[in-house]
Each structure stands twice: as C-alpha cells, then as structure tokens.
Amino acid sequence: MNGARVLEVLEMPRLMMTLVRLECYDEALDLRAYVKKQAVAFPGVRVLQGVAEEVQAITSLMISQLLAMFSANVQLPVCLKVVGYLRRLDVFSETALRRLFLKSRAEWMRSSLNKSDAATPSKSADGATPRLGNSSNNNSNNPADAPPAQEPSRLASASPQPGHPGYSSSTAALSRLVRLSDDTRAMIFEIITQYRAIFADETSGTLLPPEQPGGARGSLPLGTTSHAFTVAVLNDWTSQRLVEFLELCEKDIVHLAEGAAIATVLQRAMYCGRSLGRVGADFRSLLPPMFEDAVLRVTKNCLGAAFHRFRSMLEDFRWAAVPDSSSSSTPSVPTLGAVIEQNREKAVKAAL
C-alpha cells in the first residue's frame, strides 16, 4: 500500500507536465496546491521535497504559457481566465500583474501592426487608392461614429498618377497610414476595455499602495487621494502607445506627395483621436504641428514644380519678331492728343 502511494507521489511531476501541455490549468493548479500542502506538512521527507521542486519548475513553464497568451489575439473571456489562473498561483503582486498584462498586450499590438504593414499593398485590388469609411475595424456600429467620407474627386488626386516618380512610395505610405490609424484605434480601444473589465478597481476607486523590495506592500503617501497609482499604470501605457503611433505617422507622412492624401490621413487620424477620447486617450491636439509641416512641404514642392514647368514652357515658346517702330516702311501712328487737335481744327473751320 505504501509503495503504491510512493509511486503516486513520484508520478506527480509527470502528471503536472501532461496537464500543462494539454492546457488543463485548473487541474494543474489543484495538483500544485496539493503537492505544496504535502511538502509543508512533511518538511523532513526528502522525496516529497524533491517532487515539490520539480512541480515548481513545471509551474514556471505554466506561467510562461499563460503570459504568452496575452501576446496573442485573445478576447476578454480568455483574458479573464488567464488572470484568474495567475492570481491563483500567487506569484505576482497586483501591480506587477497589471504591468505584465499591458506589456504583453503591447507586444501583440506591435506584432499585429508590423504584420499589417508588411501585408499592406501599395494599391487596392481595383487599382485605386484607399478610401475613407471602408475599414472593417470600426469599434462602433453607430452611423454617426463612422469615419468621414471623402469626395471622389479628391480621392482621384490623392496620389500621383502612374509614371510619376513618387507614385509607388506615396500610395504605399497612404495605405500604411490609413491602416495604421484604423488598427491603432481598434486595438487600443479593445485593450483598454479589457484592462478595465479585468481590473475592476480601476473604476471603483480602490487604491493600491506602492510595492516595496521583496514583494511587500507599503503604505500610501500622505495626501494621496483617489486611485492615482492604478490609473497611472494605464495612463503611462496609453501614452507610450500614442507616442509610437505619432512616430510611425511622422515617419510615413514625409512620403505623401499630394495635399488630398494628407487630408485623407488627417481625417483618419482625427477620427482615431475622437474615438479614443471615449476612453480618455484623445490625442487630436498633437496632430496639427506634424500635418502643418507636411502641408508646407507639399505646397513648396507644388509651387516649385509649377515654376519649373512654366519656365520650360517659356523656353519652348516660339516668339514672333516685333517690327521696329522707327522703320520708314512702317507708318507712324498719331497720338491721342494729335487726333483731338485735328478734330478741333476741323470743327472750327466748319463753323466759319
């Protein structure tokens, strides 16, 4: 009988590994809790202590698997489950768990944006440039929240025509910027919604004291009110994502060669900022300086191209020779004063 129980105990690490590989985390956590309890109850049994160490090593693998799920495209129910497992493991403090969640979601967001950037063609399937309102990433079904429509005439001139030196780079940049605005809006909105649903004390006003070395939690600073610490975690993460978005926009906007393309991107970015304003991430005030520089650059380029073309037209124009007014073969043309004087003299003679 004792031999069977010893064999059962020795098989626990293998059983733990099997459960983790099959993603049976509830059963794995129950087994871990049982082994931990037996190891505490019998500290002098070396075999049981060795089994506990092996189970703890497998637990580290389970934690890595759980955190990796945050770096994938997971929905809110899965996030709630994973956070529940991590809380049952009791290896992370609440603040560390929040930061790990946001860090992993940021990695997923960057990876998705990079894949979207690599898969974005320079033109759509029908050869036209991207149009506003055609994205499937809208997070609202309200027609009033839809992206603003763009006039067809402006869309036709949103990029240089085929054969233009900047045609390829301009259309590719336009596609990337439109997709970047749509994906950033959808992802940030989704992640913030997930965060607030999982960590409910973000909105309930629960304040977590700062962590001390060793994982202990200290007291709140004097004069601290509201939920400043928990809010700061989400605010810092959101600010970093918006800074990355603006940097990507600034890098690609220099390739836009037409004013209509700049207007298209600006409308998309403004709509993105307005939508994120519902979760406290309105960044529209940061857009004007970047787009002012782009408009100034395009205006200078257009004026320079127009001047160069006008100068070329003047050089190619065939000018006709103008006859010399002093030549004897050309009759002299009387001045206006001379004509008036002649008419006055004729009138005086007629009166006499």
Q: What angle do CA 111, 114, 116 make, to 5 degrees?
A: 110
Q: Measured between alpha carbons, how far is residue 233 from residues 136, 214, 259 in Å?
A: 30, 20, 39
Task: Note the pLDDT of residue 145.
Answer: 52
Confidence tier at 311 by pLDDT (50, 70, 90) = confident
Task: Note the pLDDT of residue 322.
Answer: 62
Task: Note the pLDDT of residue 163.
Answer: 47
Task: Note the pLDDT of residue 334.
Answer: 62
Question: What rounded mean pLDDT belongs to the chain?
Answer: 77
CB 110 within 8 Å of CB 181: no
**pLDDT tens digit sequence for 317-332:** 776 666 665 555 555 5
pLDDT at 138 over 80: no
CB 228 within 8 Å of CB 207: yes
Give the residues across from 217 on adjacent strands: 211
Confidence tier at 349 by pLDDT (50, 70, 90) = confident
Mean of pLDDT values over 173-190: 93
**pLDDT tens digit sequence for 140-175:** 444 345 555 544 333 334 344 444 545 567 888 899
Distance CA 57, CA 53 (A): 6
Confidence tier at 316 by pLDDT (50, 70, 90) = confident
Task: Note the pLDDT of residue 263.
Answer: 92
Tell which residue, 229, 140, 139, has the closest CA to residue 191: 139
Q: Which residue has the higher pLDDT, 211 or 300?
A: 300
Task: Note the pLDDT of residue 109.
Answer: 94
Distance CA 81, CA 83 (A): 6
Mean of pLDDT values over 18-32: 92
**pLDDT tens digit sequence for 230-282:** 678 899 999 999 999 999 999 999 888 888 899 999 999 999 999 999 988 89
Task: Note the pLDDT of residue 325.
Answer: 58
Task: Note the pLDDT of residue 140.
Answer: 46
Task: Note the pLDDT of residue 215.
Answer: 45
Task: Note the pLDDT of residue 11.
Answer: 87
Distance CA 85, CA 87 (A): 5
Q: Which conformational region is residue 210 in: left (phi greater than 0), alpha (psi within -120 to 50 degrees), or beta? A: beta
CB 71 within 8 Å of CB 104: yes
Task: Note the pLDDT of residue 168.
Answer: 65
**pLDDT tens digit sequence for 28-74:** 999 999 988 888 888 888 888 898 899 999 999 999 999 999 999 99
Task: Note the pLDDT of residue 38.
Answer: 86
Mean of pLDDT values over 182-211: 74
3-state secondary structure the chain: CHHHHHHHHHCHHHHHHHHHHCCCHHHHHHHHHHHHHHHHHCCCCHHHHHHHHHHHHHHHHHHHHHHHHHCCCCCHHHHHHHHHHHHHHCCCCHHHHHHHHHHHHHHHHHHHHHHHHHHCCCCCCCCCCCCCCCCCCCCCCCHHHCCCCCCHHHHHCCCCCCCCCCHHHHHHHHHHHHHHHHHHHHHHHHHHHHHHHHCCHHHHCCCCCCECCCCCECCCCCCCCCCHHHHHHHHHHHHHHHHHHHHHHHHHHCCCCCHHHHHHHHHHHHHHHHHHHHHCCCCHHHHHHHHHHHHHHHHHHHHHHHHHHHHHHHHHCCCCCCCCCCCCCCCCCCCHHHHHHHHHHHHHHHHC
Q: Calculate Rg over the CA atoms of the chain.
A: 37
Confidence tier at 98 by pLDDT (50, 70, 90) = very high
CB 220 within 8 Å of CB 259: no
Distance CA 302, CA 316 (A): 21
Give the residues across from 211 on adjacent strands: 217
pLDDT at 95 over 70: yes
